[in-house]
Amino acid sequence: MTDDTAARAAGSTGAPPRVGFFTDTSVCIGCKACEVACKEWNAIPEDGLELTGMSYDNTQGLGASTWRHVAFVEQRKPLGGQEPGVGHGNHEDHEDIDVFAAARGLGAPPGSPLAPDGRTELRWLMSSDVCKHCTRAACLDVCPTGSLFRTEFGTVVVQEDVCNGCGYCVPACPYGVIDQRPGDGRAWKCTLCYDRLGVGMEPACAKSCPTDSIQFGPLEELRERAAARVARLHAAGVTDARLYGADPEDGVGGDGAFFLLLDEPEVYGLPPDPVVTTRDLPAMWRHAAAAAVSLTALAAVCFAGRPR
């Protein structure tokens, strides 16, 4: 299924272009405004005060009551790539400046120790995770009530008044995003602020992001912007930069919310090669059907061959 047909296949005609998030983690400052704005807008309950010791990440992961989660990863690696690629205004009069050429000359010279133990440099990665709004969404496939549906924007949303709390969607998600809320039982996840999109507003997290790390817009446009951004970073020598979830050919048909990462996905707690968990369902049903037919035929033969 392509992006264009995702919404149409769900029955929307004349649908707006598919929208999503491009989360550029290279400019995230870890302020967690997205987490708070998400909870405020969507009236999500606080879900536990626990000092985890995972750097400044006391949220731990996405869940029924956490729809944005900022990961903090401390690494003994040089700084790099924390260069903004998007501005708020016109910069045409500064286009002559090669910022990356300037940036290359920076950073402590290799081997100059900052500490007696010979440590050189430190890198603190920050990344705001969210529901991926997969092109091929397993949660949606397995939902027996139709509570999970694909919107006219191509996003995947749970209808809280339809969900019966069966929980099938929970193991179906290849990213471990959707979850049941304790004491409530229903499944909850990011709606990409469906109620805001309907009135022409951008999602709360993107609105609150001070550095444009979270960018909202038509998916096609975001993918182009992201590709250009990676190219610039590669040209600047930030070879670690890569996109995650931007490929329509990947195991989930591409994500509606994709990322620019500065390290392997596992470093951020993301699966390296997610596959829609319902991928094998048709084959499984075919096998099951074949088995059923065989068994029926066998039974028929048995009954037919029975001496009267």
Q: Which residues sit at the interface with another protein, rule CB under 8 A?
A: 27, 29-33, 35-36, 39-40, 45-53, 55-56, 58-59, 74, 76, 79, 82-91, 94, 97-99, 102-103, 106-109, 112-117, 119, 122-126, 210-212
Q: Is 190 annotated as a binding residue?
A: yes
- Distance in angstroms (rounded) separating the CA atoms of residues 169 and 307: 49
> Please, which residue, 172 or 260, has the CB nearer to another protein?
260
What's the closest the beta carbon of residue 94 comes to another protein, in angstroms? Answer: 5
Contact 257, 21 (CB under 8 A): yes
What's the closest the beta carbon of residue 58 comes to another protein, in angstroms? Answer: 6
> Please, which residue, 59 or 180, has the CB nearer to another protein?
59
Widest distance between CA atoms in the chain: 96
What's the closest the beta carbon of residue 128 comes to another protein, in angstroms? Answer: 13
What's the closest the beta carbon of residue 93 comes to another protein, in angstroms? Answer: 9
Collect all residues with Cβ–Cβ distance below 8 Å to 208 and sequence separation of at least 6: 33, 34, 36, 37
The residue among 209, 122, 132 whose CA lies nearest residue 174 is 132
Q: Which two tokens stand for residue 10?
A: 């769900």
Which residues in 187-208 are b (16+ Cβ under 10 Å) and which e? bbbbbbbbebbeeeebbbbbbb
Which residues in 151-161 are b (16+ Cβ under 10 Å) and which e? bbbbbbbbeee
The residue among 110, 24, 127 whose CA lies nearest residue 74 is 127
Q: What's at 11, amino acid-wise?
A: G
Q: Which two tokens stand for residue 60?
A: 């731990």
Q: Which two tokens stand for residue 79?
A: 């700084």
Residue 129 to residues 9, 23, 60, 206: CA-CA distances in angstroms?
27, 8, 11, 12
What's the closest the beta carbon of residue 132 comes to another protein, in angstroms? Answer: 23
> Please, which residue, 10 or 267, has the CB nearer to another protein?
267
The upper half-sphere exposure of residue 11, i.e. CA atoms within 13 Å in the direction of its Cβ, equals: 3
Q: Is 139 annotated as a binding residue?
A: yes
Q: Is 302 annotated as a binding residue?
A: no
> Please, which residue, 1 or 86, has the CB nearer to another protein?
86
> Please, which residue, 4 or 212, has the CB nearer to another protein?
212
> Please, which residue, 88 or 306, has the CB nearer to another protein?
88
What's the closest the beta carbon of residue 189 comes to another protein, in angstroms? Answer: 18
Annotated binding site: 28, 31, 34, 38, 131, 134, 139, 143, 163, 166, 169, 173, 190, 193, 205, 209
Annotated binding site for [4Fe-4S] cluster: 28, 31, 34, 38, 131, 134, 139, 143, 163, 166, 169, 173, 190, 193, 205, 209
